[in-house]
Structures are given as structure tokens and as C-alpha cells.
């Protein structure tokens, strides 16, 4: 099975004009497991699919996928908070740039107070 899969990968790489990775089948397995974990496939189902004898092997994919998802969620929440703060500041000063950010203040004075 692995030999047939390896041959298919080699053929696909040749058609695409790219170099065959040193361990193409192992890379595909790892990518599949990480993507399945990120998609919410249960640990037990993934372990059975991957043929892992120990759930510990499967969990290392979950840890990486979970951490990546948590980091992305945290980044999105921070960005939303910053966008909301910028919008609020823009509403208070009545002066925003094209990007919706408050206009730059020089010397601590609002743009209208500068001469």
C-alpha cells in the first residue's frame, strides 16, 4: 500500500514539476492527522484511522492543532478589540483617516487645535 502511494506521489510531483520530498508518504500522514485534528475529529477516531497503538502518539497532533487554533482565536479577538477602540476614538474626535483610524496627534493636541 505504501509503495503504491509513494509511486502516486512521485508521479504527481513529476507532472507538477516539483521535487519529491524525502519522505512523501510520512509527510502526507502527518499533514492528514494535523488537519483532521484541527477539523475536530475525535482522538480515538483519528488514532484508529492512523493505526496508532498509543493515544499519546495521536495526542501530539491534537496539541499542535489546538495551540494553533487558540493562537489564531486570540489574535482575532485582539484585532477586534483594537478595531473597536480605533472606531470609538475616531467617533470621539470626529476625525479619522481613510483606514478608519484616528488622525495622528502632534504635541498631544487634536488636529483641529493645531495652528
Distance CA 36, CA 34 (A): 6
Give whole-number Cα distances, 95 to 85, 89, 107, 111, 115, in Å: 14, 9, 16, 8, 16
Whole-model pTM over 0.75 = no
pLDDT in tens, 20-42: 877 767 778 888 888 888 888 88
Distance CA 24, CA 12 (A): 11
Mean pLDDT score of the chain: 77
Amino acid at each position: 500500500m505504501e509503495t503504491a502511494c509513494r509511486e502516486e506521489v512521485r508521479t504527481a510531483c513529476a507532472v507538477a514539476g516539483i521535487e519529491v520530498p524525502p519522505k512523501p508518504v510520512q509527510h502526507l500522514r502527518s499533514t492528514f492527522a494535523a488537519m483532521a485534528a484541527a477539523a475536530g475529529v475525535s482522538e480515538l477516531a483519528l488514532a484508529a484511522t492512523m493505526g496508532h497503538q498509543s493515544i499519546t502518539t495521536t495526542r501530539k497532533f491534537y496539541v499542535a492543532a489546538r495551540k494553533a487554533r487558540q493562537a489564531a482565536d486570540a489574535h482575532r479577538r485582539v484585532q477586534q478589540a483594537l478595531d473597536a477602540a480605533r472606531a470609538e476614538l475616531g467617533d470621539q474626535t470626529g476625525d479619522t483617516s481613510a483606514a478608519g483610524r484616528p488622525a495622528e496627534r502632534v504635541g498631544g493636541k487634536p488636529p483641529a487645535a493645531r495652528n
